[in-house]
Amino acid sequence: MKSLEEFDIKVILKELHKNYEFFYSEADLQFKLAWKIKEYLNNSNVEIILEYPNDDENKRSHTDIFLVEGEKFLPIELKYKTKAIKNIESLKYNGIEKSLINNLKNQGAKNNGCYGYVKDISRIEKLSDKDCQNFIKGYAIFITNDKSYIKEPRCSNGEKPEYINFSIHQGRELGKKLVPKKNGKFILENNTENIVGYSDKKRTVNIKNKYEPFKWRYYNDCLKDISSENEIEDDGNSTFYLLITEIK
User: What are 186-196's pLDDT values in tens digits?
Assistant: 444 443 333 33
Asked whether residue 35 is domain-assigned, the answer is yes
Mean pLDDT over the full length of the chain: 83
- Count the neighbouring beta carbons within 10 Å of the beta carbon of residue 54: 14
Q: What residue ranges in the chain does DSSP mark as E strands?
A: 46-56, 59-69, 72-81, 90-93, 96-99, 138-144, 177-180, 185-190, 193-198, 205-206, 216-218, 221-225, 241-247
Asked whether residue 231 is domain-assigned, the answer is yes
Asked whether residue 168 is domain-assigned, the answer is no
Listed range (11-25, 57-71, 153-167) with the worst mean pLDDT: 153-167
Asked whether residue 134 is domain-assigned, the answer is yes
Confidence class for position 44, pLDDT limits 50, 70, 90: confident
The total number of structural domains in the chain stands at: 1
Asked whether residue 139 is domain-assigned, the answer is yes
Cα–Cα dist 118/108, whole Å: 17
Provide the residue range defining the domain that includes 221.
4-152+212-247
Residue 115: strand, helix, or coil: helix
Asked whether residue 95 is domain-assigned, the answer is yes
Asked whether residue 39 is domain-assigned, the answer is yes
At 22 the pLDDT is 92
At 146 the pLDDT is 93
Torsion of CA 151, 99, 26, 78, to 10 degrees: -50
Asked whether residue 94 is domain-assigned, the answer is yes
